[in-house]
Structure 1
Amino acid sequence: MSKKRKEIRKQQRKAWHAEKGKRKKIRHNTAANQEKHRVDWQPLLPDEEGQIVDQRIMPLDERDRREAVEEQSAVTLQANLDDAQWQNMADETPFLLGKVVEVSRGLCRAEVDGNTIVCDVRGTLIAEGSGYSNILAVGDRVLVQPLSDARGLVEGVLPRRSGLARADSFDTHLKQILAANVDQLLVVAAWLEPKLWLQMVDEYLIGAQRNGLQTAVCLNKIDLAKNIDEVEAIVAPYRKLNIPVFLTAAAEGVGVEPVHDFLRGQATVLAGLSGVGKSTLLNAVQPGLQLRTSAVSNLKSREGRHTTTQAIMIPLEMGGNVVDTPGIKDMGLHGLHPEDLIDFYPELADVVGFCRFGNCTHSHEPGCTVKAAVADGRIAQWRYDNYVNLYDMLVEAA
């Protein structure tokens, strides 16, 4: 075959593949994207033949163009750009800049140009190699291709400046990103109903610190306490560590103003067990939200009834936003070495160094200065107990 004929055949094959890419269709995959219980989350409807155009398949020249845009953008994208700089960057692409406010299976809601639209997620976007088990999280900035006034397609996820993550429940070598581009974490616990679980509060605080987030603790339902002095004694160790503590009875509007000030102008994650009153607290902070609340399902257990079923971003009239998360039972200490745990208990770390044994674990050994500090009241018994429990958990998991 002559060189000229080879070149002609090459051009013909290229044109054929490009045309095939334009025509390629797939069967509508209901299981992959559809949330049957949410009518407004339905994916794009199939045509009369039961088919929809596969958004992941495109002509080769279009794919090359988009890859060139992504390659160019990868050089300039920085995680610390402000809103105006992000918008200017997005204006240089064929896409719109959006912010994810809710995530579902294969879909998300994103704020785009002041409107909230439902977006499919391009099938070529995968979490493999990222260290995370999920592609999107509430708070992510995304590049959106508009498909209609109420529909879009997420084409890319921009770098995150911060986030709250934990070990994935199934693939424990990976992390699950719970919220992206956030400034701080507010841990909400209840004095009773469900009963105060201080070890879980400590885990939340450790998780936030490992993610570089500022933290505060809101102890709700203090109206159920027999003595406010008992409440103050419990939270005193946090106050000594300069961790802000808010005492509230959100259902009665008591103690809400300091929480209001803490949330103003910030991107905040609310975390806590179900039933502690996160939604009630937000309703008190911003009347009119009318977030759904429910009573605790089992007063004898630490857990309440799930009210928030998935993370959702709520804008605040005073500025900033709140990511309300479902009741998280396991913040996860995955990847933390047992010997490093004490760094997250500063009051214990301050007295370490004079134990009888150099490899003291501060749990059972004689001559331990940490246990001596607990005995004379310099360290709260409950903080020490939490440390020992978490240390044992990390040793067992190692």
Structure 2
Amino acid sequence: MDRGRRHHSCWGNHRRWCCCRGWRCGPRRSPRVLNCRWRSGAANWRKGKLINDVKVAIVTESASVWGAEHSLLILLEQFKQQGIEATTVLAQGSPFKRILDTRNHRAIEYRFAKHPALAGGSFSTASRNDIAKEPFNVLASGVRLAKVLKDFDLALSFSLWQSPETIIASRIRRIPCVLDLHETFSGGQSVRLTKFIGNFCSGVIAPSLSIVRSSGLTLSPKVRVIGRPVEVDKTTNQHRNARLPLTVGIFGQIVPHKGVHQLVSAVEAMPQGALNLMVVGGTKEADRRTPFELDLRERVSRMPRSQFLDRVGAVGPYMRKCDLVVNLSEHEAFGRTVVEAISCGAYPVVLDGSGPAEIVNATGVGKVIESVEDLEGFLISLCGPGGMVKLDELFRDRAHWPDAVDQFAARSVGERYAAALKSFA
């Protein structure tokens, strides 16, 4: 007997338990049976008929739009082709809502719980009173969120901060909760909390193995690694031909843990004019720039033929002007700039121990360094005698680089991600 018929066997049987929900079946309890679902992963049984689409609520605050939101946009496009009916539940006033609306993606605004204990950035600096409020705020929000999730088959928490209330809401609704783990943390207390939340979920999807390990989790059928989708551009004929002086770029947020200041210091230590620096990712509004960013802008302005640019929508045209793209992030879940750099013909240089290093190892394109000192030595070797010979060797197989990042193409990642969600549903 196949699964479908075995599922039907619960109809009209007063003494058997429903195979999916645990509710006793019978004529008087038929409404329970109608809501029962056949968990084949590829199809759900809803309201008495078999359908292929899985209704997924993607819960995320998205107070700003960065790499995670761009990845989610690509996934949403792929979900439409993979039998996933997705709706994004996001914070009121989120700028991400406008982007979703323009692309005709379903979205619901929701008032998430406030986290006074995290207002200072860490539990260690929070008062006891604020910490005591956390469970009550989360519980109340979880109960309210359950009303929003009433018509969904699965909840995907796309933010660790909203995962506790998403777990509560999904438990109330008796639907699986899957955590997309892409936030990075340091400190034992944060790691223990992340591990606890991950173990409480029905499944965990992470973009790299390093973030799984740093969170205290281990790979299993419940914990899976699926890279982020990147819109790969294969127009390699438009890239810059490597020549001296080198142009070195760094892309992303201008914050200390991204290592921008370390690259600026490394370039300052080089002979003047040995290479050009391009920093992309600055804050457009001058009054919102931090002292950290203002200091870096001033230092870069003193370098000949170097640029400090504000954040841009498409990085491709700027990466094609670079010979090297550096990622010095101390902890990064994935590293989409590495994939973008390879597809644009720029050679990536990354720190070991995080997502970007895994991309370099998986594609075979780029250099993994142990420290900033190694970066300085590498740059000096390229700018010194015999530098052009080394550059020619680095870029020898550049025409085939885009093929190396096909594994991160939107369709490939979308298929794997959708299959994982269906298996958890």
Report the TM-score, using the length of structure 1 for normalisation: 0.33
Higher relative contact order (CA 8 A, sep 6+): 2
* More helix per residue: 2
The structure richer in strand per residue is 1
User: Which structure has the bigger radius of gyration?
Assistant: 1
Alignment TM-score, normalising by the size of structure 2? 0.31
